[in-house]
Structure 1
Amino acid sequence: MEELNLEHLRHIVLWATFAIGLWFGAVSHRSHFCTMGAVADIVNFGNWNRMRAWGLAIGVASLALQAMTLTGLARPEDTIYLNPQWSWLSGILGGLLFGVGMVLASGCGSKTLIRLGGGNLKALVVFLVLGLTSYMALKGILGVVRVQWFDPLKIDLGNASSIPGLLGESVQTSVATAVTIGLPVVLIATSLFARSAWNKETLLGGLGVGLAIAAVWWVAFNLAYLPEHPETLEAAYLGSYANRPEAFSFVAPYAYTLEWLMFYSDASRVLTVGVVACAGVVLGAAASAWQEGSFRWEGFQGVEDTANHVVGAALMGFGGILALGCTVGQGLSGASTLSVASWITTLAIVAGAWVALKYQTWRIERML
């Protein structure tokens, strides 16, 4: 009976995550929420509104998570993002590769799912190549390269793995708490400071995406958490792939989705929160596109367009596994934990995107 109850609880976790994925996909599609687009708007037009939406999303998600932590409803230290042992080369190089890749592929992992929901067949190719490459980086030949050459180069951050931890152990608890809550509040205020940020797309994207990340964290730390699993007698997180609390991230879940589809008849392959999140985002974006009347089939424009998307997807697959996440995994979920490594990795992703966009601009100017 207990086993049946655990399976029922796991299904509740998966359905809840799927529902949040639907919301994330619909909101992101309707608001044009896109990290690559945010960087491109700044580089090409000097427009910061989509970057403000991204900052607002981080601030909202972080404020909610820190509030849950202070009230005992969340344990961010259990996540991969606050690991004191940081593979710095993997994080920085992976972030740079991912940033370049998402420009070539016309969007990051989450944007690919959103474009796929809108009928973009180029996004389907990106999904397959990114999923295959990330699987290779997890368990295949690229995984050997990653484990031998990159991951061993680590820094012991200790308590400094979080931004409040940078203050040191001697700082009073009240000061650390003020910083923990103050940083997200400052980020929200900064994002909303400009008059131009007060528009439907910026507010819907920032608030909607931020609340989605907060909601999936609540599911992970409350619905999915078992203080003592009846079989292992250890703490467990139901529905997760590595028995850790998971929010949204769209690199490794691509690999797990392909694995689940290819080995569906294998009873040991079960659905995880990452797989159902991917499905939810696609269907949520599709529903928004149909309701809006913007759904349309779109393919490649030529050989160069195809090559850019394939190379970009491969860079995102390898870079995302190196970096332990993407613009959502590190840039939203990780950043909301106030992880130092997540913020550095996110800056590396933005830097990679900036370099790729500048290169594209240079190429266009040379052809004129």
Structure 2
Amino acid sequence: MMNVTNPEIIYYLVLGGSFCTTLMLGYIMQRTNFCTMGAISDFFLMGSLTRARQWVLAIAVSILGVGFLKYFQLIILDDSIYVAPKVLWLSVLLGSLMFGFGMVFASGCAGRNLMRIGSGSIRALVVVIFTGLFAQMTLRGIFAVIRVNTVDQVFFTLPSNQDLMSIFQQLLHFSPFVTLVMTILIGLSLILWVFVDKKFWTLENCLIGLFVGICIICFWLLVGYFGFLEEDPNTLEKAYLATNTNRLEMVSFVAPIAYLLDYLTLFSDASKKVTLGIVSIFGMMGGSFLAVNFHQTWRWQGFTSFSDLSRHLVGAALMGVGGVTALGCTFGQGLSGISTLSISSLIAITGFIGGAYVALKYLESKN
């Protein structure tokens, strides 16, 4: 916890830090075309692993960073939704399959479409709004009732947190130092796999993976250290300021879109506050906007046909429902969550890839 006693200062620090981090993230990702769906499609359609290696490098860097933050007790990882002992495996699997399928139909995940808004895509704007509406219905609406009473009822509970290091520590009685060493070995193993291919050895490939990984670490530190209060003077309980759940949240883009729509439609409600998820949305769009204007690549984009519109709407709906059901999108679970080595995140990544594969094969059969 940072040594600042004024919660309002911390609140605006977290908001400002979140905006600046995602502003840089949006700029770099726009310029380098870093994209989870792109990495999956490159592999299945062209056999290329270049963007997948960028993605894995970002994961490896973030795993190492979170391991050190946890070891030096700079963050309380137990307060994160990703490592809760209750593993909603069916929800995560079904939701991630839906999201993976949907992002192919919608020409990119929620984060990618936010960047496209910044570059002038009306199509992406429609996708994001539709994703947010279905996310709202899955968080607190009709789909929430269905979700809670069906797939959320299927789970198992571990005697420890669900991250791999906590499981090993519970079963094998490892010391915190040994678990740190194991985390380092996992991170280095992933980095080794990334650099086995000499074609990957370009400055851009290395920097984008490193940069995205560092951004994830910055978010953990920003929310888990700077934004943490051991005792909120208003509630006398511990709190994570500028979050929607008052827990240790990370970057994700489906639920925050729903929160933004909720905030805009209920603006006069004093209980509605701007959160780090909401400002991150504007950060991603703003970073992309700066990138395309600086390099003069701005252009308006729309739908090409009714079938194009309908396909994107179906994809957006699946992303909205799937992203909430899976407890995160390809950025929330696929990058932020996996940095904890969470079982749910491993399941989610499998689902994202599987859903995208099925969608790609479906579209390929139609052409």
TM-score past 0.5 threshold: yes
**Aligned counterparts of 2:115 and 2:191: Cα–Cα separation in 1:** 25
> Which residue of structure 2 lines up, in the alignment, with residue 65 of structure 1?
66
Q: How far apart are residue 239 of structure 1 and its match? A: 0.4
Counterpart residue number, 2:53: 52
Alignment of 1:328-343 (within 5 A): 328-343=331-346
Q: CA deviation at 1:270?
A: 0.7
In the alignment, which of 318, 321, 324 is matched to residue 324 of structure 2?
Answer: 321
Task: Indicate the residue corresponding to 2:215 in structure 1.
Answer: 212
> Any idea what the Cα deviations from partners look like across 1:190-241, whole Å, max 9, x if unmatched?
1122112122442232112111111111101111000111122211100010
Residue from 162, 170, 173 that aligns with 2:172: 170
Distance in 1 of aligned mates of 2:348 and 2:324: 12
CA–CA separation in structure 2 for the residues paired with 1:179 and 1:27: 31
Q: Does 1:233 align with 2:248?
A: no
1:124-159 deviations in whole A, cap 9, x for unaligned? 001000000000000111111111111111111332
> Do the aligned residues in 1 keep the contact of 2:67 with 2:180 (CA within 8 Å)?
no
What does residue 80 of structure 2 align with? 79
Structure 1 equivalent of residue 24 of structure 2: 23
- After TM superposition, list the pairs within 5 Å mapping 1:146-225 onto structure 2: 146-159=147-160, 161-167=162-168, 168-173=170-175, 174-225=177-228
SS in 1 for 2:251: coil
| Per-residue deviation, residues 28-85 of structure 1 (Å, max 9, x unmatched) | 1111010000011011111100000110111111111111111111122110000111
User: Contact 1:27–1:204 at 8 Å: present in 2 too?
Assistant: no
**Is 1:81–1:334's contact at 8 Å kept on the other side of the alignment?**
yes
Separation in structure 1 between the aligned mates of residue 297 and residue 78 of structure 2, nearest angstrom: 42
Is residue 84–residue 161 contact of structure 2 (8 Å, CA) maintained in 1? Answer: no
| In structure 2, C-alpha distance between the alignment counterparts of 1:241 and 1:176, rounded to whole Å | 31
Give the match's secondary structure for 2:120: coil
Shift of 1:343: 1.0
> For the residues of structure 1 that align with 2:6 and 2:229, how far apart are their CA atoms?
12
Q: Which residue of 1 aligns with 2:311?
A: 308
Residues 245-285 of structure 1, C-alpha deviations (whole Å, 9 max, x = no match): 11210110010011111122222111001000111010011
Deviates more, 1:159-168 or 1:62-71: 159-168
Paired position in structure 2 for 1:128: 129
In structure 1, give the amino acid aligned to 2:62.
A
TM-score, length of structure 1 as denominator length:
0.95
Aligned to 2:295: 292
Partner of 2:13: 12
How far, CA to CA, are the matches of 1:182 and 1:295 in structure 2?
43
Distance 1:159 1:186 in 2: 25
Identity %: 40
Task: Work out whether residues 227 and 241 of structure 2, in 8 Å CA contact, stay in contact via their aligned partners in 1.
Answer: yes
Native 8 Å contact 2:68 2:180 kept in 1: no
Q: Is the contact made by 1:96 and 1:348 (CA closer than 8 Å) also made in structure 2? A: yes
Identify which range, 57-66 or 311-320, moves more after superposition. 57-66
Question: How far did residue 160 of structure 1 move?
Answer: 6.1
- Partner of 2:219: helix, strand, or coil? helix
- Residues paired across the two proteins, number: 362
One-letter amino acid matched to 2:224? F
Verify the 8 A CA contact 1:126 1:313 in the aligned structure 2: yes
Structure 2 CA distance for partners of 1:145 and 1:175, relative to 1, 3 Å: same
Aligned to 1:119: 120
Tell whether 2:290 aligns with 1:282: no
Could you tell me which runs of 5 or more consecutive residues in structure 1 were left unpaired when the two chains were aligned: none
Q: Which runs of 5+ in 2 are unaligned?
A: none
Q: Which amino acid aligns with 1:148?
A: N
For residues 358 and 204 of structure 2, what CA distance do their matches in structure 1 show? 27
Task: Find the partner of 1:249 among 247, 252, 258.
Answer: 252
Distance verdict in 2 for CA 1:348–1:267, change over 3 Å:
same
Structure-2 separation of matches of 1:338 and 1:245 = 16
How far did residue 172 of structure 1 move?
Answer: 2.8
Contact 1:32–1:205 (CA under 8 A) maintained in structure 2: no
1:294: Cα distance to partner?
Answer: 1.3
Give, in whole Å, the separation in 2 of the partners of 1:158 and 1:32.
Answer: 41
Match of residue 139 from structure 1: 140
- The answer to whether structure 1 residue 273 and structure 2 residue 276 are counterparts is yes
Q: Please, what is the CA RMSD of the aligned residues?
A: 1.5
Q: 1:348 offset after TM fit, Å? A: 0.8
- Whether 1:352 aligns to 2:355 is yes
Contact 2:83–2:161 (Cα < 8 Å) also in 1: no
Q: Scaled by the length of structure 2, what TM-score is found? A: 0.96
Other structure's SS at 1:169 match: helix
Q: How far off its partner does 1:4 sit?
A: 9.6
Write out per-residue CA displacement over residues 302-358 of structure 1, whole angstroms, 9 at most, x where no aligned residue: 011101110000000001110000100000110001111111111111111011111
Distance 1:160 1:268, change over 3 A: closer
